[in-house]
Amino acid sequence: MKNMLKGLGAALCVALPFLAQAPAGAATPAGAGAADQALVQRGAYLAQLGDCAACHTAPKGKPFAGGLPMNTPMGRIYVTNITPDAQTGIGGYTEADFARALREGVAKDGHNLYPAMPYPSYAKVNDGDVKALYAFFMHGVAPVQQANRESDIKWPLNMRWPLMFWNMAFLEKGPYRDKPGKDVAWNRGAYLVQGLGHCGSCHTPRGVGFQESALDESGSAFLSGALLDGWFASNLTGEHNTGLGRWSDEDLRTFLKTGANRHASAFGAMTSVINNSTQALNDQDVAAVSKYLKSLPPVGGNGAPAYTYDPQATKVSLDRPANNAGARVYTAYCMHCHGVDGRGFAPMLAPLAGNPNVLAKDASSLINVTLNGTGDLVINGVPSPFPMPGFAAVLDDKQIADVLSFVRAGWNNGAPAVAAAEVAKLRQSTQAGR
């Protein structure tokens, strides 16, 4: 039950020519001049911070060759090959073809892409960044001949032409425009979060057409948290309990660079985002993203009074765990990492007292991480020494419900109890998705 999520959105892109190491699998452009090499390296930075590899590289697969399965409400799809292979990848794409696919969700042959590819966000990416990304994928990535796999979506739901109407209804074309009255850093952060960063793809609730309910801060639902594939991507607004209201600018910048701070640690899909993407942000962009997110007014939340720490009642239960089923599980499996006081040993071991994800109304992330654990955070090549283990094989549904109810009530967290039926449902869905 270690690393309680305070997820921060999908990977964040950059546009200015601050250089970073190219992602694994990048090829050196043969015969390219200094200017071309700089453009390729700039594109590598954009691709890394856009977390392209996380979706387009399958486990143990070759970089950007596709094949990664993704679950959607209609069925499973498989991410495509975006290496410059002429037959199975995007080697035959012109820059205009590439831009159309990236920003409008239309492939070179004219078929519509599923919006699991977050082109409604990428529509905001400016022409200079598109050019740099194209240079990287054409000249900085090794071509891989690997055929794309058809989706598991059954007919007639697998037909693509209705997506034209989806785009007409929900796609807002045009790159990001600076907001008057906002400074350079705020606009830079807004561009990163809304554009290639596609934070809203996970952290904004979806509407009846599976569209994001808002694409920027003008919509009240923007980044207010959303359930996605068995995880609840947390609230990134200024809400006090479940959002970033208690996070300082330094807290947020630390999380982006390391995946952990005094409030929470990353888990689930956010672990991959930290590992492959946000730790590569340069200092200017970290500051810009933090400034923008910290400017968002509070939205959503759990409706409870502002959280204040109080350990007394929980300490009494832990002193006499025989009287409380959740306390018995906590003392046996959780207390050595998270402590009697619930404050853990941040940032190595996440706190549970006041953790925004513990306080959230939706307990999906807590259930999921307790069942299945999480992958290692790997910062500057060094894995975290204490990854969260999964307890699916050790604890039954009632035991997990008991301990999570204890945690959500403990230390004055005041969050609703978890039912065994909720655990059973998530156990079944996450096992089926493997």
Question: For position 297, what pLDDT does the model report?
Answer: 96
pLDDT of residue 4: 39
- Give the per-residue pLDDT at 6: 38
**CB atoms closer than 10 angstroms to residue 393:** 6
First to last CA, the chain: 21
User: For residue 35, what pLDDT is reported?
Assistant: 60
> Residue 108 burial (CB < 10 Å; 0-12/13-18/19+)?
middle
Helix (H) or strand (E) holding 49: helix 34-49
Q: What is the pLDDT of residue 71?
A: 78
Beta bridge partners of residue 26, listed in sequence order: 141
**From CA 230, how far away is CA 233, in angstroms rounded?**
10
pLDDT score recorded for residue 33: 63
DSSP secondary structure string for all residues of 203-263: HS-B-TTS-BS-SSTTSTTTTS-EEETTEEEPP-SS-TTTSSTT--HHHHHHHHHHSB-SS
The pLDDT score that the predictor gives to residue 389 is: 94
> How far is Cα of residue 283 from the mean position of the Cα atoms in its chain?
20
* Best CA proximity match to 8, nearest among 351, 255, 288, 226: 255
H/E stretch holding 383 reads strand 382-383
**pLDDT confidence of residue 303:** 83
pLDDT of residue 434: 64
Secondary structure (3-state) at 338? helix
- Summarize the annotated binding site as residue ranges: 52, 55-56, 199, 202-203, 334, 337-338
Q: In whole angstroms, give the CA distance from residue 340 to residue 337.
A: 9
| Cα–Cα distance, 426 to 161 (Å, whole number) | 33
User: Which residue ranges of the chain lie beneath pLDDT 70?
Assistant: 1-35, 432-434
List the binding residues for heme c.
52, 55-56, 199, 202-203, 334, 337-338
156 preceded by cis ω (within 30°)?
A: yes
